[in-house]
Amino acid sequence: MNASRPEHGLLSRLPEAMAGLLAMAWDEVHVETGAAVGAGAVVKAEGWTFAVELTEAASAGPVAVHAERAANAAKALRKRAIPVVAVPFMGPSGKDSCGRAGVSWFDFSGNAHIVAPGIRVIIEGRPNRFRKRGRPSSAFAPKSSRIARWLLMRSSQAMSQRETSHATEVSEGLVSRVVSRLAEEHYVVRDDRGLIRTRNPRLLLDAWRDEYRFSNHAIIRGHVAARSGDALTRFVADTLSAAKVEHAATGLSAAWQLTRFAGFRTATFFVPAEPTVSLKSDLGFREDARGANLWLVVPNDAGVFQGAVERDAVRCVHPVQAYLDLKEHPERASDAAERIRSEFLNW
């Protein structure tokens, strides 16, 4: 890591942060930087040595890269050094990346998970002190996310940006910008021919899930008389098909069709627009958020239909989309998401 780069202004905060975590005075914490130390920074305090890698980007890909660097630096120091990644605010996917690498972490918002022989510092629940005003640019914004979805659906293939543009119905300019962003964050690599592919599909999916909010779609909740979630799913699918309305089951409905895992009550379908009065009548749909067992969802981008396939006479979203959508669903949604991941997204 080159600590002189502007994004590494975190370095100036390092002594104060480490002193606070270790309950020491600032002058008891010594920070060494430069190429000679073999890490972004080496922190020494009361006999402890920490090989610290700092990064402004706290999503799965950048954190995984810096975790590997911290681990290698700690080994090179040969002083029982503890590898640590430091970020402004650590999200769930970043924590997972550190956990898989066996590397400790802390953030400058006051959270930490530093565990090694003789030391245990665990602090959780501190809010993000570095949240920026306004909506930050993201490779996972509604239309931009079509590119991540396409790359995950073709995770073993290398493809051109033009092919990606055509497949996702996104302009080549937007594809170029999003791919550049994904490459900067270590989710995408280019080969000698300029073709792109995912560097690590698992990390790309983790990063997207961190940012994904099912509640950003327009959700119309209501009740339809049905014996079970499966019976309701089939009835809704048949009714929408008969009315020639584009649709795709997601959430628990899709999880059941894909894996037959766990009975459920709440059925969920993406539809392109708010259902008409006539269609609601055909469904026997009564809007009622409290007793709702059917969610009709108008997506914030039509990309959710990409990769949809028919499963046992029910059209379902692609497993990538179903996995993301289950993040904010009730009942056994988290278990269903893990089943989808293990059966369809286990790269």
Domains and CATH numbers, the chain: 6-123 (3.40.1350), 145-211 (1.10.10.10), 214-344 (3.30.460.40)
Intra-chain end-to-end CA distance of the chain, in Å: 29
Between strands 119-123 and 112-116, the pairing is: antiparallel
Give the tens place of pLDDT for each residue, 216-271: 999 999 999 999 999 999 999 999 999 999 999 999 999 999 999 989 999 999 99
The model's pTM is 0.85
Residue 135 has a pLDDT of 53
Per-position pLDDT tens, the chain of length 347 = 343 343 457 899 999 999 999 999 988 999 998 766 767 899 999 889 999 999 998 899 999 999 999 999 999 987 789 999 999 999 999 999 999 999 999 999 999 999 999 999 999 999 999 887 655 578 999 999 999 999 999 998 999 999 999 999 999 999 999 999 999 999 999 999 999 999 999 999 999 999 999 999 999 999 999 999 999 999 999 999 999 999 999 999 999 999 999 899 999 999 999 999 999 999 999 998 888 999 999 999 999 999 999 999 999 999 999 999 999 999 999 999 999 999 999 98
Q: Which amino acid makes up residue 278?
A: S
What CA–CA distances, in Å, run from 293 to 29, 253, 254, 278, 322?
Answer: 57, 11, 15, 19, 18
